Amino acid sequence: MKFLLIEDNQELANAIGSRMRLDGHVVDHAENLEDASEFVATGDYDLILLDIMLPDGDGREFLKRHRASDLDTPVIVLTARSQVSDRIGSLDLGADDYMTKPFDHAELEARCRAILRRRTKNTKTTIELGGVIFDPVAGRLKVAGTLVNLRNRELRLLEIFMNAPGQVFSKSKLSDRLFSYDDDVSENAIEVYIGRLRKRLSASDLGITTLRGIGYRLDQNE
């Protein structure tokens, strides 16, 4: 998954980003609202972690604009404010959850997983399709009953496809989902990961179809 972290405390941002990247997620970090708006305008995110008190304004104004633009990206508000009225205000503006600093990072990760499951309308952690059992949370893949090891980006690429079988993803769309803004990505990076994933799925009934000039699609063989 790809997250946008909007947080001006560099130490906290580094801690959150490191934990999320260890789980295989891609994290873009904005230290202020101006940068956050640019990220949202040019990127596609699965979840936004939003601080309230930022150098150039109130994060709730960002949240208000975000929802007014009909963007449905889930948002978890992170703030030192603990008053009930603050929590209610953020939730009424469209926040999906609210965590008061300091918080436990394991709890934040659990809340992220819960929100993402609700978003995909999938209360189970595993996805089963075409002889494949995939658990993106645990990072486990079984193909024809055999456990297959995946590297982080292979895992997240498979997650994208497994959550939307039959949907076409362009190379630029996949690149945007797999890499952060600061990553130095070669032109053939997506082709390399697609090739690796095809090998991992070779014993299953699933295959990744290349639609030349358009993109890639996960298909189940007849």
- Domain count for the chain, please give it: 2
pLDDT above 60: residue 122: no
**pLDDT number for residue 75:** 95
**pLDDT number for residue 124:** 60
pLDDT above 60: residue 123: no
Report the chain's mean pLDDT, rounded to a whole number.
89
Q: Are residues 181 and 73 in the same domain?
A: no
pLDDT in tens, 137-193: 778 899 999 999 888 889 989 999 998 899 999 998 898 888 888 787 777 899 999
Please identify, among 119, 141, 176, the residue that sits at the C-terminal boundary of a domain: 119
Q: Are residues 149 and 91 in the same domain?
A: no
Q: Are residues 6 and 103 in the same domain?
A: yes
**pLDDT number for residue 43:** 84
Please identify, among 82, 103, 119, the residue that sits at the C-terminal boundary of a domain: 119
Q: Are residues 56 and 74 in the same domain?
A: yes
Dihedral sign, Cα of residue 154, residue 156, residue 181, residue 175? positive
Q: Are residues 13 and 84 in the same domain?
A: yes
Residue 91 has which token pair? 């939730």
Q: Are residues 171 and 205 in the same domain?
A: yes
> What's the pLDDT band for 38 if we cut at 50, 70, 90?
very high
Identify whether the C-beta of residue 19 lies closer than 8 Å to the C-beta of residue 177.
no
* Rounded Cα distance, 180 and 194, in Å: 18
Q: Are residues 19 and 36 in the same domain?
A: yes
**pLDDT number for residue 190:** 93
Q: What percent of the chain has pLDDT over 90?
A: 58
CATH number for the domain spanning 169: value is 1.10.10.10
Amino acid 117 reads R
Q: What percent of the chain has pLDDT over 70?
A: 96
Q: Are residues 81 and 131 in the same domain?
A: no
Average confidence (pLDDT) over 120-148 = 83
In terms of residue numbers, what domain contains 145?
A: 127-220
Residue the block writes with tokens 């189970």 = 124
* Rounded Cα distance, 46 and 74, in Å: 7
Q: Are residues 39 and 104 in the same domain?
A: yes
* Rounded Cα distance, 150 and 121, in Å: 25
Please identify, among 119, 154, 187, the residue that sits at the C-terminal boundary of a domain: 119
pLDDT in tens, 65-117: 988 887 889 999 998 877 888 788 888 888 999 999 999 999 999 999 888 87
> What's the pLDDT band for 121 if we cut at 50, 70, 90?
low
* Rounded Cα distance, 99 and 102, in Å: 8
Q: Are residues 111 and 6 in the same domain?
A: yes
* Rounded Cα distance, 9 and 164, in Å: 36
Q: Are residues 112 and 209 in the same domain?
A: no
Q: Are residues 9 and 93 in the same domain?
A: yes
